Amino acid sequence: MAVLVAGAWFVGDWMTDLSFSPLKLKVYSWHKWTGILVFALLIVRVGVRIAVRFNPRTEMPSHPVNRLARGTHLLLYLLLALVPLSGWLYSSAAGFTTVWFGIWPIPDLVPKDAQLKDLFRSVHDALTSVLAALVVLHLLAALKHHFIDRDRILVRMVPGLKPRKPSDPSDFVD
């Protein structure tokens, strides 16, 4: 999901500066396809999270830092839903039906409307900026956990990282 979100953000930032051409239309399609994929994967992820209850951490839920972490995660999930949804609304209001991977037409959520288009573009841009800021905060927190707290949170988050030996019995257990 992180790679898809980063890719969609970079492509979205790049595509707006392109002059009108077949390439620009193709890049817009890739951007929209990625947004829909992120939205679909988020639905699956939330479904799995609800179905498979687990608590991999040994934290005190009432601790303010843990409440902040949970709130940040909830906000990340919310933004991972709202950013693609606002893009979908923007595309619909602009009169451009999305055809996912050029095969499956995705229904427009609103009719073509210039005022709505401007509104949804502003909302999409603002939500994307908030998501980007939150992702940076999330990344900084993960690095802090790894290099300062020396716990295993980053190891759990990034596939392929090798777990190190716990230096302290209070390290989180996978």
Q: Where are the domains of the chain?
A: 2-157
Res. 111 pLDDT band, cuts 50 70 90 = very high
Residue 11 pLDDT exceeds 90? yes
Predicted confidence (pLDDT) at residue 169 exceeds the cutoff of 80 = no
When pLDDT is averaged across residues 34-48 and rounded to a whole number, the result is 95
Look at residue 10 and give its three-state secondary structure: helix
Confidence of residue 156 (pLDDT cuts 50, 70, 90): confident
Query: Confidence band (pLDDT; 50, 70, 90) for 173?
Result: very low
For 27-36, 56-65, 89-98, 124-133, which range has the lowest pLDDT when averaged over its residues? 56-65
C-alpha dist (Å) from residue 41 to 30, 54, 56, 74: 16, 19, 22, 16
pLDDT digits (tens, 9 = 90+) for 46-85: 999 889 876 655 555 567 877 888 899 899 999 999 999 9
**Adjacent-strand bridge partners of 104:** 100
Backbone dihedral angles phi then psi of residue 104, each to the nearest 5 degrees: -105, 115
CA separation for the pair 145, 49 (Å, rounded): 23
End-to-end CA gap in the chain? 21
With bands split at pLDDT 50, 70 and 90, how would you rate the model's confidence at 171? very low
Alpha-carbon gap, residue 130 to 153, rounded angstroms:
23
The per-type count for the chain, helices as H runs and strands as E runs, is 5, 2
Q: What is the pLDDT of residues 124-154, one digit of tens each?
A: 999 999 999 999 998 898 888 888 888 877 7
Query: What is the average pLDDT across 109-127?
Result: 98
Long-range interactions of 62-70: CB distance < 8 A, separation 24+:
69/141
Beta-ladder partners of 105: 99
CB–CB of 151/171 below 8 Å? yes
Bridge partner list, 100: 104
So what's the pLDDT on residue 60? Answer: 52
Q: Which residue has the tokens 């994307």?
A: 128
Instruction: With 0.75 as the threshold, say if the pTM is over it.
Output: yes
Share of the chain above pLDDT 90, in %: 64
